[in-house]
Amino acid sequence: MIVSGLLIIFYFYGRVVLQPDNYMFANSGDGLKNYFTYSYHIKHDTSLVNFEGMNYPYGEHFMYTDCHPVLAVAFKALSGLFPFISNHSIGILNLLMIISVLLTFIVVYLLLTELGVNQWFSLLFSIGITLLAPQIFRMGGHLALSYSVAIPFSWLLIIKSLRNEYLLKYTILIFLNNLFWFFIHAYLGMIISFFLILILVIFFISDKDRMKSFRRALNLFVSLVLPIVLFFLFVKITDTHTGRTDNPSGFYLYVAEADDVFVPNHPPLRPLLDTLMGNGIRQQWEAWSYVGISTTLMVLIFIFMGIFRLIKGRQTGIDRFFGSGIMNVSLMAAFLMLLFAMAVPFRQIPVLAEIVPIVKQFRALGRFTWPFYFAATFFTAMVIVKIYETASSRKGRMIAIGLALTAGLANIVEALPYHREMAWTITQSPNLFQKKSLSQSFNSAIGSINANDYQAIISLPFFYQGSETYSRPRNEETAKASMVFSYHTGIPLVCANLTRTSVQESKNIVQLVSPDFYNKGIEDDLSDNRPFLVIRTRDGITGYEEDILKKCTPLYQSDELSLYALQKSDLFRSTAPDTIANFKTQENSLFRKDEFYLTKDSSFLYYNDFDNLHSEKPFRGKGGFQSVKKGKNVLAEFGPGTFIAGKSYHLGVWMFNGRPDALNLYFRFIVEEYNEQSDTWESTTYFPDQSEVINGDWSLVEGVFGVKNPQSRIYIVTIGTKDAKGPLFIDDLLIKEKGTDVYRMSADNSSLFYNNHRVPASVPFHN
C-alpha cells in the first residue's frame, strides 16, 4: 500500500516533493491570502494569537485568518531555535499537504480492512477512493481544507473505539484528533465532530443493550463534545475583537444538490454529459463530492431494488448487503450530513436558522458532503466484497472479481484528471515569499525603503474584505503586491482580505478613503506617528484614492508598482477650507440652476431631498425616504428623453448604515433602463456596503451610469432579498452629468453642499 501510494505521489507531485519551497499552490485569491497569514504569523507577529499582518492597527485573531493556527503557532515557537522553519515555512506546508494524500492511501486501506474487506480488495479500492476524494481541489486555494486524511482517520478511530472494550486509549485519541483538526480549520473540526457524534448517537440508539453501554457511550460522547467546547471557549477568551457579524451571508448560497454528489465534474464523463444535457448542469464548487460512476450506479440499483420490494412485497436479497452494523450506522450518519449540506430542513423551515443561529456561521454547507463521499464509496466496496464472498461458484467469484476491478479502476480513471489538473495548477506559481522569485523592480522597491520608518502599508486601490458590512473590492494585482511586499518587509497592511472581521473595525478602516472633511474614528486608534508607506499598482483608482495620492511623497516608481510616503498628519488633514475657498473664488463664474451652482452650463441636474416625506432618521433637512429593506423600493422615475445616449451620469444617495446589516446581505442600489418598444431591461448595479464615503451612521452610495436608448424609462431603485429585515432610511438623491461639480452653501453658512457631500465650514480638531 505504501509503495503504491509513493509511486502515485511521485508520478503526479514529484516536482513539489523534491523542491517544496519553490512553489506556491496558488498565488491569488484565498490561496495567496492563506499562505500570507500563515507565513507572516510565523516570521513577523509578536503575538501568538493575534495576527498583525492585516487590518492595521487592529490586527485579527489568528483563528479567523485561515492560517493553519496550530501549525503557525508551533512553527513560530520552533523557529526561535530553528530559523530554517521561518525561512522555509511555505515548503514545509506544501510538503504536509502532499503527505496528507499519501497518508490517505494508508488510512483508507486500514479502514477498509477494519470493516472486513480483504487486503487485495482493500488495496484496489483504497487507491480509487483516495484519488477521487474531493478535498484535493482545496490545495488550489483553501489550503487548510485539503487534508483528505482527516475524515477517514477520524472515522477509523470511532469505529475502533466502538469495537474495543478498552475505550480509554481511543477516547483520548479521538479527543486529541478532533481538537487538532479544529485548530487546523474550524470547518474540518466541525465536520468531523458532527459526523462522529451522529455515528455515536445512532449506534447507541440501535444498540439493544443500551443500558450496559451507556457509561461507555457517555465517555465517548464527552470526548467528542469537549473539543467543540474548548475550541469555542479558547476563541471567546482570547479574541479581543468585538462586534463581529452574527449573520454572515451565504448560508443558502453554498449548499449542495444531488448533482454535486452523483454527477461528475471532470472528464472523462463530464464532457459527454454536457453534450447530452446541452451544458445545462450547474454545480456548486463548494459542494463537489462526486462519488464516482460505480457508486452512483450502486446507489441507483439499491433505490430501484428498494422500490421494487415495497411495491411488490417480494424479497430482493438487499438485506445481505447491510450485514455490517457499524457500516449501516456510518451510512445513516453520512446521509444526515448530506441532508444538512443541502440545508435540510433549514430551506424548508427558514425560521430554524434564526432559532439556531450558530448554523449560519458555517455558511459553506456544501463542505459537509465530504463524509458522505467516504461512506458511500466504502459501502460500494463492501457490497462488491459481499458479492464475492457469497458467490457459490467459481464463475460467480470471477464475476465478482471482474466487478471489483471494473468499479475500482473506474474510480481511478475518473480521478486521474483531478490529479493531472492539480499537478499542473500547484506548480504554476513560484514561491513569491522567496526574493529570488520576484522581479528586479520588485526587489529594487523592497530595497529602496527602510521598513522601520513606516507604521503600515496603505494600498491603492484600497481593498477590504472581512465584515461584509463595510468593504472595498479586492484588486488582484494590488492585493498580491501588497501581501508580498508586507511579507518581505514585515510592515503590516491596513487593507484586509479576511473573514468576519469586527464591523466597527472595518468601518473605521474603510473610512480612510472617505473625503478628509469627515471625522474618521480610526485616527484615535493610531498611536504611532510614523508615516504610512503607500503602494500604488497599475490597477485603476477612484477619485477619493486620487485625493490621498496627492498628499503623498514619491519614493520609488516602476512600471510594476510605485511607493510613496504619506505623513499621518497629512492623511487626516482636512481640505474643507480649501474646498469652500475654491467655491467662493469661482462663485461668480459658476452657472446657476435653481438653488445650485454648477461648473457647466446646461448640465443635467436632478436633486430630491425627500423633505416632503416623513423619516425617523433624515440625513439633511426635515424629511427623508423611509421604507423597508426587503423587496423593491423606487426612489425616482424618469420618462423617455430625460437622458442622452453616450453621456455619463453620476448619481449618489445617502443611506443609513447605523444598524446591523443595514446595507449588506445582497442589498443593491440599481439604475434600471426599460425599453418599452423591445420590452427589455438593462441594469447598472451598485453595492451600498462597498461605499467609500462613510460619514458617521450614513454612507454615500455613488456610481456612474449611461443609457443605451434615450427613449427608455429610467428607474432608480433599491432591491433587498425576500428575507431582508429592518427599516431602510435614504436621503438626498443627486444625479448630475459626470465631470460637473455642484455647489450650494447652507442658509446659515455652516456647511457647503458639494456634489452631495456636506463640507463643514469649521474644521474639527485632529490630533
CATH number for position 625: 2.60.120.260
Task: Evaluate if residue 765 carries a pLDDT over 70.
Answer: no
Query: Same domain for 152 and 177?
Result: yes
**Percent of the chain beyond pLDDT 90?**
83
SS3 of 613, please? coil
Query: Same domain for 672 and 532?
Result: no
Strands (E), 516-552: 532-536
Please say whether the beta carbons of 544 and 693 come within 8 A: yes
Domain stop point among 425, 456, 471: 425
Per DSSP, the residues of 91-141 read HHHHHHHHHHHHHHHHHHHHHHHHTT--HHHHHHHHHHHHHH-GGGGGGGS
Number of domains in the chain: 3
SS3 of 564, please? strand
Query: Same domain for 503 and 528?
Result: yes
| pTM of the entire predicted model | 0.94
SS3 of 566, please? strand
pLDDT digits (tens, 9 = 90+) for 103-153: 999 999 999 999 999 999 999 999 999 999 999 999 999 999 999 999 999
The 3-state DSSP composition of the chain as helix, strand, coil percent (nearest 5) reads: 50, 15, 35
Show the domain range for 236: 88-241+254-425
Q: What is the dihedral of CA 261, 267, 269, 272, to 10 degrees?
A: 120
Distance CA 361, CA 455 (A): 33
Domain stop point among 369, 397, 425: 425
Query: Same domain for 495 and 622?
Result: no
Of 56, 140, 32, 63, the residue nearest 475 (C-alpha)? 32
Query: Same domain for 722 and 634?
Result: yes
CB neighbours (10 Å) of residue 123?
Answer: 17
Please say whether the beta carbons of 730 and 655 come within 8 A: yes
Looking at residue 212, its pLDDT comes to 67
DSSP code of 338?
H
Residue range 577-590: mean pLDDT, rounded: 93
Provide the pLDDT confidence category of residue 356 given band limits of 50, 70 and 90. Answer: confident
pLDDT digits (tens, 9 = 90+) for 516-563: 999 999 999 999 999 999 999 999 999 999 999 999 999 999 999 999
Q: Is the peptide bond before 461 cis (omega within 30 degrees of 0)?
A: yes
Looking at residue 305, its pLDDT comes to 83
Task: Evaluate if residue 247 carries a pLDDT over 90.
Answer: no
Q: Which residues contact 396 (CB under 8 A, 6 or more apart)?
A: none
Task: Evaluate if residue 677 carries a pLDDT over 80.
Answer: yes
SS3 of 81, please? coil
Assigned domain for 754 exists: no
Residue range 88-113: mean pLDDT, rounded: 97
Task: Evaluate if residue 164 carries a pLDDT over 80.
Answer: no
Task: Tell how strand 60-61 and strand 23-24 pair up.
Answer: unpaired
Query: Same domain for 674 and 550?
Result: no
Residue type, 250: G
Assigned domain for 23 exists: no
Assigned domain for 31 exists: no
Locus of grid cell 492563506? 34
| Average pLDDT score, the chain | 93
Distance CA 321, CA 431 (A): 50
Looking at residue 3, its pLDDT comes to 81
Query: Same domain for 663 and 552?
Result: no
Please say whether the beta carbons of 708 and 548 come within 8 A: no
Give the orientation angle of helix 325-341 with respect to helix 370-390, to 10 degrees.
150
Maximal C-alpha separation, the chain:
105
Provide the pLDDT confidence category of residue 324 given band limits of 50, 70 and 90. Answer: confident
Assigned domain for 30 exists: no
Assigned domain for 409 exists: yes
Assigned domain for 271 exists: yes
pLDDT digits (tens, 9 = 90+) for 750-763: 899 999 999 998 75
Q: Which residues contact 321 (CB under 8 A, 6 or more apart)?
A: 302, 382, 383, 386
Please say whether the beta carbons of 648 and 737 come within 8 A: yes
Q: Where are the alpha helices (DSSP H) in 492-541?
A: 503-510
Residue range 176-195: mean pLDDT, rounded: 97
Please say whether the beta carbons of 500 and 467 come within 8 A: yes
Assigned domain for 53 exists: no
Looking at residue 63, its pLDDT comes to 96
Locus of grid cell 452631495? 756
Query: Same domain for 325 and 212?
Result: yes
Task: Evaluate if residue 168 carries a pLDDT over 90.
Answer: no
Distance CA 526, CA 661 (A): 27
> Cell for 26?
496558488
Looking at residue 744, its pLDDT comes to 96
Distance CA 132, CA 289 (A): 9
SS3 of 347, please? coil
Residue range 65-93: mean pLDDT, rounded: 95
Domain stop point among 546, 571, 596: 571
> Cell for 57?
492597527
Looking at residue 689, its pLDDT comes to 97
Query: Same domain for 421 and 445?
Result: no
> Cell for 132?
477521487
Query: Same domain for 463 and 414?
Result: no
Assigned domain for 498 exists: yes
Query: Same domain for 448 and 509?
Result: yes
Distance CA 486, CA 493 (A): 7
**Percent of the chain beyond pLDDT 70?**
98
In angstroms, what CA-CA distances link 438 with 38, 446, 500, 560? 20, 10, 32, 11
Q: Where are the alpha helices (DSSP H) in 358-517?
A: 370-390, 394-425, 440-447, 476-489, 503-510
Looking at residue 767, its pLDDT comes to 45
First CA to last CA across the chain, in angstroms? Answer: 67
Residue range 332-360: mean pLDDT, rounded: 90
The residues pairing with 632 across neighbouring beta strands, listed in sequence order, are 719
Query: Same domain for 488 and 419?
Result: no
Provide the pLDDT confidence category of residue 615 given band limits of 50, 70 and 90. Answer: very high
SS3 of 454, please? coil
533 burial via Cβ count (<10 Å: 0-12, 13-18, 19+) = buried
Provide the pLDDT confidence category of residue 702 given band limits of 50, 70 and 90. Answer: very high
Looking at residue 766, its pLDDT comes to 47
Looking at residue 522, its pLDDT comes to 96
pLDDT digits (tens, 9 = 90+) for 727-747: 999 999 999 999 999 999 998
Task: Evaluate if residue 297 carries a pLDDT over 90.
Answer: yes
Q: Which residues contact 450 (CB under 8 A, 6 or more apart)?
A: none
Residue range 6-31: mean pLDDT, rounded: 95
Q: Which residues contact 742 (CB under 8 A, 6 or more apart)?
A: 596, 597, 598, 605, 734, 736, 753, 754, 755, 756
CB neighbours (10 Å) of residue 385?
Answer: 21
Residue type, 130: T
Looking at residue 455, its pLDDT comes to 98
| Residue burial 258-295, b: 16+ Cβ < 10 Å; e: rest | ebbbbbbbbeebbeeeeeeeeeeeebbebbbbbbbbbb
